[in-house]
Chains A and B, each alone.
Chain A
Amino acid sequence: MLQMIIVFVLMLTGALLMLLAGIGVLRMPDTFLRMSATAKAGTLGAGLILLGAAIYFNDLAIYTRALAIVVFLMLTAPVAAHMIGRAAYFDGVPLWTGTVQDDLHGHYRRSTHSLEADMVPLPEQVNEVVEADDYAEEG
């Protein structure tokens, strides 16, 4: 009985997290914010659902597999988010107009793709923040 309650709570929470991620994707105004909503809520939601499944079957083989899936998800999802975010920023995908601070601006060196801790000298500084009024209203 207790086991079923735990399974129920875990699966429901996982599904709710995924639903939130979905709503977040629909409502967030720019790429980075949308990624913020999905990259982790997906991982955590999947993790909770897997844990629920493992507890439901209560078998070591299932536990091991669920753990392996969760570990690999947690290792790979942030890396993917980092690569997509980096590529998007580098390509000049506009940040939402409500963004209050952008410390990354002007730190990418276009010629070598390296990210400098200090400001890159002006001629290289091409990563202009494009005004994106229409963009924000689309969603």
Chain B
Amino acid sequence: MSLFLLNILLALAWAALTGRFEPVNLLFGFLLAFALLWLAFRRRNEGRYFKQVPRVFELLAFFLIDVVRANLRLARTVLSPRMNLRPAVVAVPLDLKSEAGLVLLINLVTLTPGTLGLDVSTDRRIMYIHTLWLDAPEQFVRGIKQGYERRLMRILEA
């Protein structure tokens, strides 16, 4: 976590030194500082951070692609005269244990069009998701677990 702080500070320093606080420049500063920190710290016992940052970007990219795909499907469903709905409430068993991870998981699932995180069982073993199109239950559960849960676990609990 302290490496993350250092990374942000270096990015801010980069923006201040170049005199341009534009988002693109800040992002470039962040990536530059990340490369710098990697060079400096990769041999120490702090390799975790250097795996986490690419994974966060990978999760964001995966989420954005998923959102675009689901939006297109939602558009097709809503606009077609006979809406091809196969709604269902599906129980997804959870491996993720941390509270922050659960909040993130259910928020990501809800923000993807077509799926809605309804509730998590009180003992946090099962998450109930409402979906617009249930093609195959096992496939849907696997999609959530492989797509979002595994990625989140690798970031938060690796």
What is the interface of chain A, defined by CB distance below 8 A to chain B? 17, 20, 23-24, 27-30, 32-33, 35-37, 39-41, 43-44, 58, 60, 63, 74-75, 77-79, 81-82, 85-86, 89, 95-96, 98-105, 107, 114-117
Contacts and interface: CB of A to CB of B under 8 A. Distances in A.
A134 B37 CA distance: 63
B61 interface: no
A43 B122 CA distance: 28
B110 A32 contact: no
Given A78-B107, A98-B86, A99-B89, A36 B130 contact: yes
A95 B87 CA distance: 9
Chain B interface SS verdict (over half): mixed
B132 interface: yes
Interface stretch (B3-11, B41-49, B67-75, B142-150): B67-75
A89 to B, nearest CB: 6
Nearest to A107: B121
Contact of A74 (B23, B107, B118, B125): B107
Interface of B: 21-23, 67, 71, 74-75, 78-79, 83, 85-91, 106-107, 109-123, 125-126, 128, 130, 132, 134, 137
A115 B89 contact: no
19 contacts: A20-B75, A23-B79, A30-B87, A35-B116, A36-B114, A40-B112, A44-B67, A63-B23, A77-B110, A79-B107, A82-B118, A82-B119, A99-B89, A101-B134, A102-B89, A103-B90, A103-B128, A104-B89, A115-B119
